[in-house]
Amino acid sequence: MRCECCQCPEGLVPFLDRRVTVATKCGEINGFLRAFGETFLEVEETDPRFELTIIQCTKVCYVRLTQL
């Protein structure tokens, strides 16, 4: 049985409320990491308008901090 959960959600704690880039196979999402759980990330996108995007962990390639 395959685990659908994030491999290390506790590692994302320093990223909360900071500007991040979340890379997926479909592209990159830029914004502020607002929350995460065992199976998802919530990113408040800032381009072109403020919008909350929920990304399933199985779709995430990596998460990195970005500069302003």
Q: What are phi and psi of 9, to 5 degrees?
A: -60, -30
Question: pLDDT tens digits, residue range 18-60?
Answer: 999 999 989 999 999 999 988 899 999 977 677 899 999 889 9
Cα separation, 25 vs 16, whole angstroms: 22
Q: Which residue has the tokens 């994302």?
A: 12
The pTM assigned to this predicted structure is 0.81
Which of these CATH numbers, 2.30.30.90, 2.30.30.100, 2.40.50.140, 2.60.120.10, describes 9-65?
2.30.30.100
Distances (CA, A) of 8 to 11, 40, 47, 63, 64: 6, 12, 27, 12, 14
Enumerate the domain spans of the chain: 9-65
Say if residues 51 and 63 touch (Cβ distance below 8 Å): no
